[in-house]
Amino acid sequence: MANSKPRVLATRLFPPDVEARLTAHFDAVLNPEDRLYDSPSLTKAAAGCDAIMCAAGDSLNAATIAALPTSIRMIATFSVGYEHVDVAAAAKRNILVANTPDVLTDATADIAMLCLLGAARRAHEGAALLRAHHWVGWAPTQLMGTHVTGKRLGIFGMGRIGQAMADRARAFRMQIHYSNRSRLSPDEEKGAVFHANPDDMLAHCDFLSINAPMTPQTRKWVNAERIARLPKGAIVVNTARGGVVDDEALIAALKSGHLASAGLDVFDGEPKLHQGYYDLTNAFLLPHMGSATVETRNAMGFKALDNLETYLLRNQTPPNLVTA
């Protein structure tokens, strides 16, 4: 007897609990080796499938979507950001696109604070010194970093993650400045200083945290001109998308000493990040770990499955539908 369950292609190896639910409710095409699909192999693997469950890094651009089998009705991404999916191209094919908001806010804000603290307190240099067996003991001037408590934190993009970052920073008595497409309500603002023009915020940033989505307007927003507006010795943190930062400009500022350090969890073109970062001792670098807790990754997968089940099994609008 033919399998009557809708067929779903899983482009990556997802957490065990997520794949267990996926295989229970769908005819799942899994990827146990977690091999990366290029466009031709993805379109081939999607043959006969009703939907694709993808992740950040999968290039579902216009050309790939145009080549997908006619059977594909939905793309559910295991992520909040969906810049890797050409939503307009999907709409032309009547393919729905859904994402997973709300579930990774705290985990990503935690990593943002880790990047801030790691960069400020020279954590990479300290760990490297210790692991290389070069530490000879405490010294009065050893690895003096930047004091965090009481400093000014500018947040570019005050959505859920930006607000969660601000809440954490307030525990360090940091003064919060922010710029957002729209001003928050007083209850959400919690005394933070709003800057309608983000360029006006930069002079008030001892720390600058990037929490804005990747859009054509934010592409390489952190450029040489804006970095120059930051106070000398400022620290840049990015846990949003690597493309919001101009790598050449940031690396130059870290080398010149205009910026004290940077804490980065995301990179343009990752995993092939700019080679200039590797030799910078004042760059605290993490491999896109923002949502990497068991609880958060399961919640992301379950939300992606909520979207798939709502549409494919109940023929209803997915709860997290995105539009171009």
Cα 203 to Cα 180: distance, rounded to the nearest angstrom: 16
DSSP per position, 23-41: HHHSEEE--TT-PPP-HHH
- CB-CB contact of 219 with 213 (8 Å): no
Of the candidates 202, 237, 16, 1, the residue with the CA atom closest to the CA atom of residue 118:
237
Cα 121 to Cα 138: distance, rounded to the nearest angstrom: 15
Cα 189 to Cα 284: distance, rounded to the nearest angstrom: 29
| One-letter amino acid for residue 147 of the chain | H
Instruction: Supply the residues annotated as catalytic.
Output: 241, 270, 288
What are the φ/ψ torsions at residue 269 (nearest 5 degrees)? 75, 15
| Helix residue ranges, H only, the chain | 16-25, 39-45, 62-67, 87-92, 105-120, 123-131, 160-170, 186-189, 198-201, 224-229, 247-256, 294-308
Burial 51-89 (b: 16+ CB within 10 A, else e): bbbbbbebebeeebbeebeeebbbbbbbbbbbbbbbbeb
Of the candidates 87, 7, 22, 2, the residue with the CA atom closest to the CA atom of residue 321:
87
- CB-CB contact of 239 with 112 (8 Å): yes
Give the largest CA-CA distance in the chain.
76
- CB-CB contact of 192 with 177 (8 Å): yes
